[in-house]
Amino acid sequence: MADKYTEKDDRSSTRRGSDEQVERRKESHDPFNVEAVAPNRLNAVFENPLADIPREQLMVDVTQFCEHFGLMEYIDAFKKGALVSQNPNNTRNLNELSEEDRLILENEYAHK
């Protein structure tokens, strides 16, 4: 499997790219790949890129990211951050968050 964090983006001279390229990008689960968004979805820029990723896959992606960048000592924080980012309105129901984590998030939200 290719490393999605170092792989060069094979952009063509057109903005859309081929249908095959678009499908490959959709399958990569890369939330930062804007070209993977279907051109007829104008509101896609405002959608949460993590919302449709299954929880198990999200945790695999976080682990791979931390391994790749030597951040394993922070993996718990990255996993919590990914879960909160995936569904910010559900922080009270995340078992992974401590009461201190919830207070920090509430403070951040209140002082945006």
Q: What is the mean pLDDT of residues 89-105?
A: 93
pLDDT value at residue 27: 52
pLDDT band at 112 (very low <50, low <70, confident <90, very high): confident
Is residue 64 within 8 A of residue 78, CB to CB? The reply is: no
So what's the pLDDT on residue 4? 59
CA dihedral of 45, 48, 54, 58, whole degrees rounded to 10: 100
The tens digit of pLDDT for each residue in 31-47 reads: 556 566 666 665 656 78
Residue 83 has pLDDT above 90, yes or no: yes
Q: Which two structure tokens, joined as six digits, stand for 24?
A: 């490959």
